[in-house]
Amino acid sequence: MIAKHIFLGTAAFFGFVFTYGQVGTNVTSASANTFNLPTAFLQNTALKKNGNLPNDLVGSPYLNENFLNATIIANDTSSYPARLRYNAYADEIEMKKDGEITALFKRPYLEAQIIGDRYRIIEFERNNKTVSGYAISLNESDGMQLYKRVSKIFVPGKEAVSSYKQSTPPTFNDDVSYYLTSPEIKVAKEIKLKKKDLLEHLGNEEKLKEFLKQSSNKLKSEKEAIELIEYANTLNNPNTP
């Protein structure tokens, strides 16, 4: 299939403008199947990373292979219905229209809402380098925000070296990582959803310990980590009583 980069500037979408508050309310409408993009914004550069994968690969580069009714958000103000899926191997948001597969340009002002997941481009530290890529926002806040990245790592197959061993087919390994940002942290910091790591990064350690002690929060899930982060945000907000 052809995969082309798309520039989704605000001016390119006359007739499809919705308010930011409507994001997610129109994604199941019929207009999701009639999403029109001017050809002037289609690039000739094709994504070919998937084309290099072997035919005997076990697994999928996608979190969900189906194209789902979704929303593209531009500049935090305008939204446009589309059929989207996330390619976790190539780190691309793919769009399908009229049988053709294209990909969104990776720009900070372009986001995608696929079912309950908000994908946006963030800068983060990985292996002592600052890189950028898609991450899922786990809490929308003016303070500290938690992001989740799910990547598909290609693992080559291995041929059997003797008749006593079996060959191993190529496959994908899931790589899940979490990152913390705030108005003061421009480059997201990788964080483990463990008590020690969270307390170290969130500040107000004694108050957070007391919160955990008084509540049933055992930090056993993403939901409980988000709950702790949101509480830390109330402590860091000077307007909070």
Q: Give pLDDT, residue 14.
A: 36
Q: Alpha-carbon distance 11 to 146, whole Å?
A: 31
Q: Give pLDDT, residue 43.
A: 41
Q: Give pLDDT, residue 164.
A: 77
Question: Domain residues of the chain, as ranges?
Answer: 4-191, 193-241
Chain center to CA of 109: 14
Q: Give pLDDT, residue 51.
A: 67
- Residue 5: pLDDT band (50, 70, 90) is very low
Q: What is the mean pLDDT of residues 3-12?
A: 43
Q: What is the mean pLDDT of residues 2-24?
A: 40
Q: What is the pTM of this model?
A: 0.78
**Residue 230 or 49, more confident:** 230
Q: What is the mean pLDDT of residues 90-94?
A: 92
Q: With contact defined as beta carbons under 8 Å apart, do 225 and 146 qualify?
A: yes
Return the percentage of the chain with pLDDT > 70, whole number.
78
| Phi, psi dihedral angles at 76 (to 5 degrees) | 65, 10
Q: What is the mean pLDDT of residues 35-48?
A: 44
- Segment holding 114, helix H or strand E: strand 110-114
For the chain, the residue count is 241
**Residue 87 or 37, more confident:** 87
pLDDT at 122 over 70: yes
Q: Give pLDDT, residue 171.
A: 94
Q: Give pLDDT, residue 241.
A: 46
- Residue 42: pLDDT band (50, 70, 90) is very low
pLDDT tens-digit map of 95-117: 888 888 888 888 888 899 999 99
Q: With contact defined as beta carbons under 8 Å apart, do 138 and 117 qualify?
A: no
Which among 197, 189, 202, 192 has a CA at the least distance from the CA of 235?
202
pLDDT tens-digit map of 129-168: 999 999 999 999 889 999 999 999 999 988 877 777 788 8
What is the rounded end-to-end Cα distance, in angstroms, of the chain? 56
